[in-house]
Structure 1
Amino acid sequence: MECKYFSRCGSCKIFDLGYEGQLKLKIDENKRLFEELGAKKFEVVSSPDSNFRARAEFRIYHSSSKIFYAMHSLEGKGLVVIDECPMTSKPIFELMPKLIKELESMLILKERLFAIEFLSSLNEEILVTLIYHKKLDEEWAKEAQKVQKLFDISIIGRSRGQKVVLKKDFITEELRVFDKSYRFIQKEGSFTQPNPYINQKMIEWTKEASKGFGKDLLELYCGAGNFTIPLSENFNKVLATEISKTSIKAALKNCELNGTNNVKFVRLSSEEFVEAYEEKRSFSRLKNAQIDLKEYDFSTIFVDPPRAGLDETTRTLSKKFENIIYISCNPKTMYRDLQEIIKTHKIEKFAFFDQFPYTNHLECGAILKMSKKKY
């Protein structure tokens, strides 16, 4: 794969090594960390080398009567004007030049346009968010409707204090996990896995690794149920927590779409759940969702925290479960957390997932089993 903006655009930092070279560099750097903690075998799941990003955001650069996509420069100063990005999914890649040309021809749509966000699915559904530094009115909506119809996409307009939805504010993704398909609502502005090809492999890996765990599953940081719903088939009951109201709403809808009926979702942070689980504090949100924690017989905890990793109370909670499934987008904070967790648990499986090719980022997965008695 070639990218004519390499060495200028700040999106990809290690493109010069080629796909295999950049992946080897990241694996070698991180293997040493987890070998120290007892990991012996490392599975490596590679990504397509282009057209892998289903989510992308670009600044808009204005010059006279023309507009261009732009990214921050590699040096971190100023913008690099681009006309394509081969990292984006094929639907986004093909739409980008057509969309910018159409917007450029419509004064009301290009005027004070600041950024464009794209969200696409594997079945080629596209949601485009146009972000402005001006108030959006009926005339803007009328013109945007024409573009929406022309390209058969969904458009949202955003400005300070405004969100104008012309058709809908979500796409429906369909993921193939082994021989089964799952459907997920993905809302604009909410977190979604950026690389659907790697996402499918991560779900398969966690589902295969948790076969036979049985009993009930606790999941923290569940998002919209991306892992929750496929994994629920390995457990009797699942309790999943998430702090985002939007994600909880989408997760409930996703359960309906997939006919999943053994999962309950509740809006709690990980710290709040620990307080409830240890009976230090009661929450009306649990009562309103008709959730009694004493009715669960948890064997497994699943955590997929943000880049900051687990807080101290959640690390301590995790050590009380027989099985731990830990997915991380930050090897350094995962290493910090596992340094504490291996005092009671042993790493049984470990995998690297190249979710973010050509960047320094690497997704990791670990399966840990209790090796010492609960304290």
Structure 2
Amino acid sequence: FKLFGIDFLSANSGEIVVSLLYHRTLDAAWSQSAAKIAKELDIYIIGRSRGQKVVIGQDYVTEVLNVADGEFRFQYIENSFTQPNSRVNEQMIGWVLKNLADTSSDLLELYCGAGNFTIPFAKKFRKVLATEISKASINAAKTNMLLNSVKNIEFVRMSVEEFVQALDGVRVFNRMKEIEIASYEIHTIFVDPPRSGMDEDTCKFAARYENIIYISCNPETLARDLALLCQTHTVCDMALFDQFPYTHHAEMGVKLVRNSVL
């Protein structure tokens, strides 16, 4: 009755969150019916209507990723971004790890989401500084850091534009007051932007660093950004990941090294 959409979130363990979207207020009778269905199917159910969220069980699943002989645990929260194909996701993380040499320096990550890449990368670097504009994703990233007993990551909720201003001393942000930017020795930047890619200013910012690793979910905007990045850097490795079989969508990974370093 007035149900207009259903979203599914699942993990390899078999955990499933089903979100039911309504054009009506959910009452006690709905909660009783949903609880009965959740028990019968061994799933979690979330009811959503305008200004209302009713959770039967929990609003997340726990995913386990096996990457490079290591195991990583992540909480995937309903209604937030996650990598949809876990097995291909493992391959993506593994490919990037192979392109990250063990180093005593630090890593900068833009668009970190819930820490999907950040947490496995932390074992390769002394410290990791990661930024993301979504508050929900930052909170999830901090939870996932604790789940994996990782302690050398600083997650900061701010846009790329704000972060560049903080890094260059143009503006002072309270969110950065406990982070000593000067203590970071960053030679590598990792970016995983949305389908729109990076704008010209962000590309110029990324070009400050010797090594750039770029994961893209849109080859067209990737090609546009590479036209800028290749003015200072050279592509030395590339991979394609088919997250969405039987569709035209594809994920790509590119590693670039500054020309003066080659």
Contact 1:213/1:299, CA 8 A, preserved across alignment = no
Match of 1:269 in 2: 159
| Deviation >4 Å, runs of 4+ | none
**1:162-311 residue pairs with structure 2 within 5 A?**
162-287=52-177, 290-311=178-199
Determine the structure 2 residue equivalent to 1:87. Answer: none
Residue of structure 2 in register with 1:318 after alignment: 206
Structure 1 length as normaliser, TM-score? 0.68
- Give the counterpart of 1:135 among 25, 31, 43: 25
1:361 matched to which residue of 2?
Answer: 249
CA deviation vs aligned residue, 1:241-281 (integer Å, no higher than 9, x gap): 00111110110010100010110101011111111111111
Aligned to 1:146: 36
Instruction: Check if 1:114 corresponds to 2:4.
Output: yes
Q: How far apart are residue 160 of structure 1 and its match?
A: 1.2
Larger radius of gyration, structure 1 or 2? Answer: 1
What displacement does 1:210 show?
0.6
AA at the equivalent of 1:135: T
Counterpart Cα distance in 1 of 2:224 and 2:190: 17
- Aligned residue among 330, 336, 343 for 2:231: 343
- Deviations for 1:299-326, whole angstroms, at most 9, x for unmatched residues? 1000000001001221011111011010
How far has the Cα of 1:214 moved from its partner? 4.2
Secondary structure of residue in 2 paired with 1:224:
coil
2:179 maps to a residue whose letter is I
Deviation at 1:178? 2.1
Q: 2: distance between equivalents of 1:142 and 1:241?
A: 41
Of 212-221 and 148-157, more deviation after overlay is shown by 212-221
Cα shift readout 1:205-264 (whole Å, capped 9, x = no counterpart): 001111235410000000000000001111110000001111101100101000101101
User: Could you tell me which amino acid in structure 2 is paired with residue 322 of structure 1?
Assistant: E
| Contact in 2 for aligned 1:327/1:363 (Cα 8 Å) | yes
Q: Report SS of the residue matched to 2:83.
A: coil
Computed over aligned residues only, the root mean square deviation of the Cα atoms, in angstroms, reads 1.0
**CA deviation map 1:160-218 (0-9, x unaligned):** 11111121111111001021110001100000001111100000000111123541000
Gaps of 5+ in 1: 1-110
Taking CA–CA contacts closer than 8 Å with sequence separation of 6 or more, which of the two structures ends up with the larger relative contact order?
A: 1
1:153, CA displacement in angstroms? 0.7
Unaligned runs of 5+ in 2: none
Q: Kindly indicate whether the alpha-carbon contact (under 8 Å) linking 1:214 and 1:299 is maintained by their aligned counterparts in 2.
A: no
The 3-state SS of whatever aligns with 2:98 is helix
Contact 2:103 2:126 in 1 (8 A): no
Q: Which has the higher strand share?
A: 2
1:282 and 1:360 map into 2 onto residues whose CA distance is 43
**CA distance in structure 2 between the partners assigned to 1:279 and 1:313 by the alignment:** 16
Give the aligned residue type for 1:352.
L
Per-residue CA deviation, residues 110-149 of structure 1 (Å, 9 max, x unaligned), is x111111100001111000011111101110011000011
Q: Hey, what's the Cα distance between the residues in 2 that align with 1:201 and 1:211?
A: 17
Q: Secondary structure at the match of 2:228?
A: helix
- Whichever residue aligns with residue 223 of structure 2, its letter is Y
SS of 1:139's partner is helix
